[in-house]
Amino acid sequence: MKNILDVMTNKVRSKGKRRTQMTVTKMKPKSTFAILHDKDLKNIYHCVLYNHHAIVMYGKWIVDPLFPFCIKRSEKYLRMSAEMELHEDTDLCISLAYKYQKIQQK
């Protein structure tokens, strides 16, 4: 959680260094598993679930405002956040996502 706040408020930079540049991409995901199993763990995903609940995925963690702690980034815990029944398809869990990606500095 601290890393997420540091990136969003640009506290990770020292005095005199440039702000962290991030690109934001709004996307309608074709697959929940594509976001859940993203290999680049430095991307931050702000996801709106099908039950209109919002979560953040960063690194190996899911930040859900209903829990006082971070939960592990896995299908089991994503289904728990979305309050899905056993017969519902996990692949349709995320209805909208915003991807925050760091811009490479030259």
Q: Using an 8 Å Cβ cutoff, are 3 and 58 in contact? A: yes
Give the model's pLDDT for residue 52: 87
pTM of the model: 0.74
Per-residue confidence band for 55, with pLDDT thresholds at 50, 70 and 90: very high
**Secondary structure of residue 104 in the 3-state scheme:** coil
Q: What is the mean pLDDT of residues 26-55?
A: 86
DSSP one-letter string for 48-82: EETTS-EEEEETTEEE-TTSSS-EESSHHHHHHHH
106 has pLDDT over 80: no
Chain mean pLDDT for the chain: 79
90 with 76: CB under 8 angstroms? no
